[in-house]
Amino acid sequence: MATNRRQIRELRIIAGTWRARRLRFPAGPDIRPTPDRVRETLFNWLAPVIRGARVLDLFAGSGALGLEALSRGAAQVHFIDTDARATAALRELLVEWRAEPDRVETSRADALSVLQLAPAAMFAIVFIDPPFAAGLWTEVASRLERNGWLTPEAFVYVEAPVGTALDALPANWQPWREGTAGEVGYHLFRRVEPTTRGTHGA
């Protein structure tokens, strides 16, 4: 039993319908959940737009970001991750918490492969938090932009090690807010249509 406890980790939902609920998820080297303090800051930034938004949680891992979005009123969240244990745990949790089936989709899949296709509908908020060693930020962003995944003024959240150069992200993703927590940098971008770049205020 002690071994099982070491292999399970917990987070809490910060606000909304599921406020203070404990989220249990399997431990693993590629499951690096966004800390509570960072999630609280991020969702304060997103507060004006989260309710009713369609959200894409790439490299979902624990599912903490997408679950927080659902708790705060997102219309729909699509979770994508390659880890079988993580996606199974997330599906079980969504059933346990009685998430409305039409508000959630959970896919065990490679994010790059999924993003190579056109989506059924665009997303207003996207979370990009891949395994840091993989260095996937630029390619993920390119496929999101190229294949029509984003609404015209979508918000895109990116987590990366402090000091990571993000200047290769699409030119029409304008820096909106950013911060650091230890060795992690967190960044929120707002997309503008390429033809209107430079016409929006900060």
Residues 131-152: tens digit of each pLDDT = 877 889 999 999 999 999 999 9
Residues 65-93: tens digit of each pLDDT = 999 999 999 999 999 999 998 899 999 99
pTM (2 d.p.)? 0.88
* Parent domain of 184: 2-196
- Written as one string, the DSSP assignment of 50-62 is -TT-EEEEET-TT
The pLDDT value given to residue 127: 98
Any bridge partners for residue 125, and if so which?
55, 155
The pLDDT value given to residue 28: 59
Does residue 104 form part of some domain? yes
Does residue 201 form part of some domain? no
Which band of pLDDT confidence, cut at 50, 70 and 90, is reported for residue 153?
very high
The pLDDT value given to residue 26: 65
Q: What is the CATH number of the domain that holds 71?
A: 3.40.50.150
Beta strands in the chain (DSSP E): 8-12, 22-26, 54-58, 76-81, 104-108, 123-128, 150-161, 173-181, 184-191
Does residue 202 form part of some domain? no
Does residue 150 form part of some domain? yes
Does residue 43 form part of some domain? yes
β pairing state of 184-191 and 150-161: antiparallel
Q: How far is CA 137 from CA 55, 59, 134, 168, in A?
A: 18, 11, 9, 9
Question: 17 phi and psi, to 5 degrees?
Answer: -55, -40
Which band of pLDDT confidence, cut at 50, 70 and 90, is reported for residue 25?
low
β pairing state of 54-58 and 123-128: parallel
pLDDT of 197 higher than 50: no
Question: 68 phi and psi, to 5 degrees?
Answer: -60, -40
The sign one gets for the Cα dihedral 106, 109, 115, 119 is: negative
Q: Domains in the chain: how many in total?
A: 1
